[in-house]
Amino acid sequence: MSLTLQTTTTRDALVAEVRKRILSGELKPGEPLTEAGLAGLFGVARPTVRSALQVLVGRNLVRSSGGRSLTVPVLTEQDVRDLFFVRTPLEIRAVREIVEKDLPLEDAEQRLAAMEALPDDASWADRVEAHTAFHTALVDAVGSPRLTRLYPAIQEEMQLCLAQLHRWYPGPQDLAVSHRALLDDIRSGDVDRACTAMAEHLALAVSQLTS
């Protein structure tokens, strides 16, 4: 039985659905993604699947495992540490700018409120999206066009990391609670407190992901 896709284009719909299944953990790390299998599951043509997979490869959500075989990426400890090596200084710098210049955080507050408003039965993929939106809003608050362009480039892989982090947030609101505490620290007006809070927030994620 095939599933019906309804969105702007069939390819975009397929990209969105496969992405959601990867981030929710429904498609496991290392799981093969074949043109024939996805075409049969969703009732679409193989060229459409091929095009969608190319998009996902470009967004680092699908990886070549040798030859023409494609799989859901298996992030190693080295991958995780390297991602946070890039991400951590960017976000700490963003927090410093926000506090020192007293920049507005309305968008970050709205994103966090949306995270807090998610129902208890919301999917982990929905929580991942809300989490990413919050951190992106913090970065965007700085007002640097180049930082705003650079940051999303690593966010797809960061979302893979968060998908793996799921077991560390057993309660439906635990993710929102930890980010409310982080935003409170940033709003404190104390630069050292805010930067330390962000550094500890990200260091804890690294520790959990590599434990």
What does residue 71 show for φ and ψ, rounded to 5 degrees?
-140, 165
Q: Is the pLDDT of residue 7 over 50?
A: no
Burial class (CB in 10 A: 0-12, 13-18, 19+), 161: buried
8 A C-beta contact, residue 2 and residue 48: no
What confidence tens digit (pLDDT) does each residue in 19-60 have? 988 887 889 889 999 999 999 999 999 999 999 999 999 888
Q: Look at residue 202 in the predicted model and tell me its pLDDT.
A: 95
What confidence tens digit (pLDDT) does each residue in 62-73 have? 998 766 689 999
55 to 14, 172, 202: CA distances (angstroms): 10, 31, 28
Give, in words, the CATH class of 10-71: mainly alpha
Among 143, 151, 147, residue whose Cα is nearest residue 102: 143
Tokens of 84: 């946070």
- How far is residue 8's CA from residue 6's CA, in Å, rounded to a whole number? 7
Percent of the chain with pLDDT over 90: 62
Q: Which residues contact 121 (CB under 8 A, 6 or more apart)?
A: 172
State the chain's mean pLDDT as an integer.
Answer: 89
Percent of the chain with pLDDT over 70: 94
> What is the arithmetic mean of pLDDT over 165-193?
89
What confidence tens digit (pLDDT) does each residue in 76-115 have? 889 999 999 999 999 999 999 999 999 999 999 999 999 9
What confidence tens digit (pLDDT) does each residue in 121-146 have? 888 878 888 999 999 999 999 999 99
Q: Where are the domains of the chain?
A: 10-71, 77-209
DSSP 144: -
8 A C-beta contact, residue 208 and residue 137: no
What does residue 164 show for φ and ψ, rounded to 5 degrees?
-75, -25
DSSP 2: P
Residue type, 45: A
Q: Is the pLDDT of residue 189 over 80?
A: yes
Q: Which residues contact 76 (CB under 8 A, 6 or more apart)?
A: none
Q: Look at residue 3 in the predicted model and tell me its pLDDT.
A: 60
CATH superfamily of the 77-209 domain: GntR ligand-binding domain-like (1.20.120.530)
Q: Which is it for the CA torsion 82, 87, 88, 89, positive or negative?
A: positive
